[in-house]
Amino acid sequence: MNSKIPKDLPIKGSEATIVEFWSWAYSDLLSNTNRGILAEFLVGNALGLTNVPRIEWDKADFVYNGKFIEVKSSAYIQTWKEKQPSKIIFNISKARAWDSSTGEMSSEAQRNSDCYVFCVFADQDKSDYDILNVNRWDFYVLSTSFLNYYFPEQKSISLSTIQKYCEPVKYRNLKENIDSIMGSQVK
């Protein structure tokens, strides 16, 4: 389906439109699933890759200049009630990959990208958060070769560990940072 779906596209046989469905289904952008998709969109948008629809469960979230990018998302505040901010931890497990272009699953578990972008929605006050403000997000970019070298069997990585190896990047500098990391991967 074309990624430029008209906002008033009707759901045939009903009085509803596609935008009404999207508003109903995806309005809670703080929820883990929707926040993750928003983070993917932000990264893809920064790289100019949102002109084609998202492919669910593909080998990686994006192919950029022939290389694979995996996007991970986390936040201090959640949709549900919490007594304290969440600890930021990201999954970096090796996995078998499904390739949407071939319809086949890889036989070997590995990290299936060339680069990881760890997206952190940094707001910590649930009474005054704005998930749609890119200035309230921090992005950390690490090459997969770096992760494979320093954390070869680790299944997860904390934000505090990531911060030992790289600085946060704001949205306006994300593409430049990804280009830099992708061009200088650890061998």
| pLDDT tens, position by position, 8-46 | 899 999 989 989 998 999 999 999 999 999 999 999 999
In single-letter form, the type of residue at position 71 comes to V
According to CATH, what is the number of the domain 29-183? 3.40.1350
Q: What is the pLDDT of residue 186?
A: 41
pLDDT, mean of residues 51-80:
91
User: pLDDT tens digits, residue range 75-130?
Assistant: 999 999 989 999 999 999 999 988 777 888 888 988 999 999 999 999 999 999 99
Helices (H), 92-157: 144-150
Overall pTM surpassing 0.75 (yes/no) = yes
Q: What is the pLDDT of residue 104?
A: 85
pLDDT, mean of residues 170-177:
97
Q: What is the pLDDT of residue 187?
A: 38
Q: What are phi and psi of 84, to 5 degrees?
A: -150, 165
Percent of residues in the chain assigned helix, strand, coil, to nearest 5: 30, 20, 50
